[in-house]
């Protein structure tokens, strides 16, 4: 009871990684490692924090010591996602109204359903306890996920949030094998090129300057929501490049 048996991890394990941005509490980190392994997820990345683990981290991780031993550390969020084809930000901060470009969320169960036929590394990013991911960090993400909770107390403990996201992925994978043939995630280089071209087009588009960021964020969200194939992105890039060039002539 309570131990760990040996076996192959779920087929989706190599596809996803958990990224914790500047986590504060040792106990939460250990609990995150434990819940990751509960659901067959083994790749943990830490941003802007030492991974010289304390006894508390080790104790809270229980039999998930291998997750801690193989954790990688990065100075910035950008560095931690450099090899990823899709970056998913998490947040419990929900807002009402029409001007909520940073709060267009998927739910945990929707995400693995969308990515069943996708190849490439998916980063699931969690912010620090208390503040969560800041708006500038959410802007780096391609998709946003929130966990439905009672509005009277919506913010979850970090390890609980990771647990729910990992469970959703594991639950979706049970008795299924990912098709993996469509290659519906972009290479990291193509993802960067797309975002750069969107940014360039927004910067020269003839509109009021305060609207440019909203236009840029909307284009990213709408395009990535459809999980386009690489050949589709190349066509879109051609249109964006020519459009941007036409505005600066």
Structural domains of the chain in order of their starting residue, each with its CATH number:
13-173 (3.40.1280.10), 188-247 (no CATH)
DSSP tag of 14: G
Q: What is the mean pLDDT of residues 76-105?
A: 79
CA atoms of 213 and 202, how far apart (whole Å):
7
Q: What is the mean pLDDT of residues 166-173?
A: 88
Average pLDDT over residues 206-224: 91
175 has a pLDDT exceeding 60: no
Answer yes or no: are the C-beta atoms of 9 and 42 closer than 8 Å: yes
CB atoms within 10 A of CB 246: 9
């Amino acid at each position: 009871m309570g131990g760990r048996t040996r076996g192959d991890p779920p087929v989706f394990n190599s596809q996803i990684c958990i990224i914790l941005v500047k986590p504060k509490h040792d106990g939460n980190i250990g609990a995150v490692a434990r819940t990751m392994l509960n659901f067959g997820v083994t790749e943990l990345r830490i941003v802007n924090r030492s991974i010289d683990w304390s006894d508390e981290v080790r104790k809270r991780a229980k039999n998930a010591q291998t997750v801690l031993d193989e954790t990688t550390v990065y100075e910035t969020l950008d560095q931690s996602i450099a090899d990823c084809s899709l970056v998913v930000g998490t947040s419990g901060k929900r807002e009402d109204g029409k001007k909520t470009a940073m709060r267009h969320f998927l739910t945990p169960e929707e995400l693995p359903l969308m990515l069943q036929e996708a190849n490439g590394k998916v980063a699931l990013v969690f912010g620090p306890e208390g503040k969560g991911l800041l708006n500038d960090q959410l802007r780096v993400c391609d998709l946003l996920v929130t966990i439905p909770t009672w509005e009277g107390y919506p913010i979850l403990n970090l390890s609980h949030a990771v647990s729910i996201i990992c469970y959703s992925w594991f639950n979706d994978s049970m008795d299924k094998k990912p098709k993996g043939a469509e290659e519906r995630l972009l290479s990291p280089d193509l993802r960067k090129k797309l975002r750069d071209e969107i940014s360039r087009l927004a910067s020269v588009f003839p509109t009021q300057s305060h609207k440019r960021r909203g236009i840029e964020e909307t284009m990213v969200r709408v395009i990535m929501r459809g999980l386009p194939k690489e050949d589709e992105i190349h066509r879109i890039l051609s249109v964006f490049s020519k459009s941007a060039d036409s505005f600066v002539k």
